[in-house]
């Protein structure tokens, strides 16, 4: 390197004195002589040296084996001079990167316009199968993306893992480049592992990019709603995306909340089915309800406005988003009434209920699949005796079996019902100003006081 610097200083002095000089015959020495000039865009000095030399302008040097054209990818005048001296624009370094990749990475569209005129294949790939369009989309260079597309770049070209330019744009939340691609007809394609552009947007919390995807592919709206059930996705990222989407319009806001309420209702009913996995369904329901309540509170209407929020029982568009959940609350009410009724029939007081619940505490928490239990209808535990007071055959055994059945119902449903009650409380609370208790929840507690006390004692 010292030898090269000494040679450079000698050449510089000679050029200043307007003397004709030549580069060393050794390409390695010559390239390190030219490199500082190229980096400084000293195109006249570079041109004069090349004109009097047999230097191989495409000589690859250094650890990554790049050419001077790679170095000149940021210098307009030197790049033009190197092209005049037959620099090969298709030469790759040992990472497969060409000069066009460097320009795309840095968004140098003004240089790219000149370079693409000399490129035989604008879709030349690096070692990972990525084209200049991939990296331009990833870095959000709008004009560079447009230039490459105008020059014939393949808009749906996948890399070695199956990722397209749209995939790259979404991976970094590049809304503008994603929109350009979609406007130009880019296909919505997953990679080889099935990961989609929308998956990447949600994982990164890129609400604006999600909005663009939905504009061109409306079906993706429901996909985002269903993603709220995926525990592998970070909840705060989902909230961030839905926050942005809900702020776009009142209709969009109401649509999001109604859809979330429907998904929560479905999950709640699955939780109430004894055949479902308690832990998974419980987490899913509470996660969806938390997201629902968060989006509800940050909506267009002010939480301080009782009329808009529907605190006073007014049926406003905003309060109506809770309507799908009424099916779940109705099922919850039926379960609690059923348990209270059957306990009374079997002459169980609150102390007995507590002992039943404590006896099998945690039975639902092991995630073991238990045969489905549907709430029995009226009279399921009746007809144990004749109208004359005489016991039917096995009447005593029937009473014991009914009592055992009732105990099983309580022990198997207590945790599940408690989770739904928590969801109900969250939904009631999010409709109230901070510090205020929902009248509806107070009414609910009063109605099911005895059974709820037992749940609390657990």
The string of pLDDT tens digits covering residues 127-183 is 899 999 999 999 999 999 999 999 999 999 999 999 999 999 999 999 999 999 999
Residue 290 has pLDDT above 50, yes or no: yes
pTM, to two decimals? 0.76
Parse the chain into domains and list their residue ranges: 249-370+397-458
Distance CA 133, CA 351 (A): 71
Q: Which pLDDT value is given to residue 16? A: 55
CA atoms within 13 A on the CB side of 1: 4
Helix/strand/coil (H/E/C) assignment for every residue in the chain = CHHHHHHHHHHHHHHHCCCCCCCCCCHHHHHHHHHHHHHCCCHHHHHHHHHCCCCCCCCCECCCCECHHHHHHHCHHHHHHHHHCCCCCCCCCCCCCCHHHHHHHHCCHHHHHHHHHHCCCCCCCCCCCCCHHHHHHHCCCHHHHHHHHHCCCCCCCCCCCCCCHHHHHHHCCCHHHHHHHHHCCCCCCCCCCCCCHHHHHHHHCCHHHHHHHHHHCCCHHHHHHHHCCCCCCCHHHHHHHHHHHHCCCHHHHHHHHHHHHHHHHHHHHHHHCCCCCHHHHHHHHHHHHHHHHHHHHCCCCCCCCHHHHCCCCCCCCCHHHHHHHHHHHHHHHHHHHHHHHHHHHCCCCHHHHHHHHHHCCCHHHHCCCCCCCCCCCCCCCCCCECCCCCECCCHHHHHHHHHHHHHHHHHHHHHHHHHHHHHHHHHHHCCCCCCCCCHHHHHHHHHCHHHHHHHHHC
Most confident of 114-123, 207-216, 313-322, 429-438: 207-216
Q: Which pLDDT value is given to residue 209? A: 98
Q: How confident is the model at residue 21 (pLDDT cuts 50, 70, 90)?
A: low
pLDDT in tens, 178-223: 999 999 999 999 999 999 999 999 999 999 999 999 999 999 999 9
């Amino acid at each position: 390197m010292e030898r090269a610097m000494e040679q450079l200083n000698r050449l510089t002095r000679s050029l200043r004195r307007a003397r004709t000089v030549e580069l060393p015959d050794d390409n390695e020495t010559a390239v390190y002589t030219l490199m500082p000039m190229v980096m400084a865009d000293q195109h006249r000095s570079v041109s004069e040296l090349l004109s009097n030399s047999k230097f191989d302008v495409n000589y690859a040097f250094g650890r990554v084996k790049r050419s001077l054209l790679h170095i000149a990818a940021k210098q307009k005048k030197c790049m033009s001079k190197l092209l005049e001296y037959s620099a090969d624009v298709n030469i790759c370094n040992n990472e497969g990167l060409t000069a066009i990749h460097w320009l795309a990475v840095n968004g140098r569209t003004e240089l790219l316009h000149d370079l693409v005129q000399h490129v035989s294949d604008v879709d030349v790939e690096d070692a990972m199968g990525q084209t200049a369009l991939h990296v331009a989309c990833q870095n959000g260079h709008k004009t560079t993306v447009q230039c490459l597309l105008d020059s014939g770049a393949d808009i749906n070209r996948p890399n070695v893992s199956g990722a397209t330019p749209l995939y790259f744009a979404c991976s970094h939340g590049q809304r503008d480049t994603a929109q350009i691609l979609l406007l130009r007809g880019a296909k919505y394609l997953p990679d080889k592992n099935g990961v989609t552009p929308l998956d990447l947007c949600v994982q990164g919390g890129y609400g604006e990019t999600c909005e663009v995807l939905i504009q061109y592919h409306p079906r993706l709206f429901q996909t985002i709603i269903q993603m709220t059930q995926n525990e592998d996705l970070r909840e705060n990222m989902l909230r961030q995306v839905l926050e942005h989407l809900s702020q776009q319009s009142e209709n969009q806001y109401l649509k999001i909340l109604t859809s979330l309420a429907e998904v929560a209702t479905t999950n709640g009913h699955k939780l109430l089915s004894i055949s479902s996995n308690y832990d998974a369904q419980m987490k899913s329901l509470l996660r969806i309800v938390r997201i629902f309540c968060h989006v509800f509170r940050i909506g267009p209407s002010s939480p301080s406005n009782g009329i808009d929020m529907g605190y006073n029982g007014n049926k406003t568009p905003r309060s109506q988003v809770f309507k799908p959940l009424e099916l779940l609350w109705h099922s919850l009410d039926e379960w609690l009434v059923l348990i209270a009724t059957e306990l009374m029939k079997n002459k169980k007081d609150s102390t007995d209920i507590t002992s039943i619940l404590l006896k099998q505490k945690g039975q639902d928490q092991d995630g073991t699949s238990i045969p489905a239990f549907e709430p029995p209808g009226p009279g399921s535990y009746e007809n144990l005796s004749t109208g004359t007071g005489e016991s039917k055959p096995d009447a005593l055994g029937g009473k014991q079996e009914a009592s055992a059945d009732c105990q099983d119902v309580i022990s198997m449903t207590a945790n599940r019902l408690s989770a739904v009650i928590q969801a109900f409380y969250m939904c009631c609370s999010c409709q109230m100003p901070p510090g205020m208790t929902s009248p509806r929840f107070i009414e609910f507690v009063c109605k099911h006081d005895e059974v709820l006390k037992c749940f609390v004692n657990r």
